[in-house]
Amino acid sequence: MKTVLITGCSSGFGLDTARYFLARDWNVIATMRTVREDLLPAAPNLRVLALDVTDAASIAAAIAAAGPIDVLVNNAGIGMLASLEGTPMATARDVFETNTLGTIAMTQAVLPHMRARKEGIIVNVTSAVTMRALPMLSVYTGSKAAVEAFTESLALELQPFNIRVGLVLPGRSPTTKFGSNAGPRMAAGNPDAYMPMLQGIFAGSRELTEVTTGEEVAEAVWRAATDPAAPLKIAGGADAVTWAKESDDARFVTPR
């Protein structure tokens, strides 16, 4: 039975992905900053561990407790919807610390064991916003685009060791906690001059017909983790699939 470690499992895509792998009889290590045992059904193939991807000691403890890992899913992240002008640099650093450097740190932590075994898979969850320029998302998009550039380079770096690396790009999902997650950073980063733009974004989002579900993202992660012929990039969700087709990016169809 293979083992997957998934970060950011307290809600949203991480929680849905943990459920998806559990239902397919994988050993699942579901991690979150504050452990909650009630989020997933008790099972002999489930462990819930505390993990803060911005804390080196927390990462080391979780990796030690997890034991051998076949698949790492870097899903943990924080949201942000705010103008750059009103964003404190401390807030921008927080976003990159979790979304970008947290992904890099977790990847680095699993590599020695994967390289020694000459086997392993790393799936990095980013966002469909990297496919299309959108206002008020400059810092958030930057943090996710950095992960994509990192992943593409890393995929080449790890080929000699039989370690596969892939990306899943979810679309907009009203069922996740992105809004409440981004709330504190949004309130601090929007001068009055930007409010009409922000209100237009909210109004436009209510008219969208294509959205992403947690199960669609979990399915995309599953494909990235289990299909050796999967492309480097996999769009997760109906809207993300549409954007990927419009982008004409060969990395969504070319096998890794």
Average pLDDT per block of 10 residues along the chain, 256 residues long? 97 97 98 96 97 98 98 97 94 97 98 98 98 95 98 98 98 72 62 90 76 96 97 96 89 71
What was the pLDDT predicted at 256? Answer: 64
What was the pLDDT predicted at 169? Answer: 98
- pTM of the entire structure? 0.94
Which residue(s) pair with 231 in the sheet? Answer: 255
Which residue(s) pair with 105 in the sheet? Answer: none
Whether 204 contacts 239, CB under 8 Å: no
3-252 CATH choice from 3.60.20.10, 3.40.50.720, 2.30.30.180, 1.20.1300.10: 3.40.50.720
Q: Which bin fits 60, alpha (ψ -120 to 50), beta or left (φ > 0)?
A: alpha
5-50 confidence digits (pLDDT tens):
999 999 999 999 999 999 999 999 999 999 999 999 999 999 999 9
56 class by beta-carbon count within 10 Å (0-12 exposed, 13-18 middle, 19+ buried): exposed
Residue 48 φ then ψ, to 5°: -110, 120
Residue 67 φ then ψ, to 5°: 75, -160
What was the pLDDT predicted at 248? Answer: 83
What was the pLDDT predicted at 185? Answer: 57
Question: Looking at residue 160, what DSSP letter applies?
Answer: G
Residues belonging to the active site: 140
What was the pLDDT predicted at 184? Answer: 65
CA distances for 219 relative to 20, 36, 131, 223, angstroms: 8, 24, 20, 6
Query: Distance between CA 253 and CA 232 in Å, rounded?
Result: 8
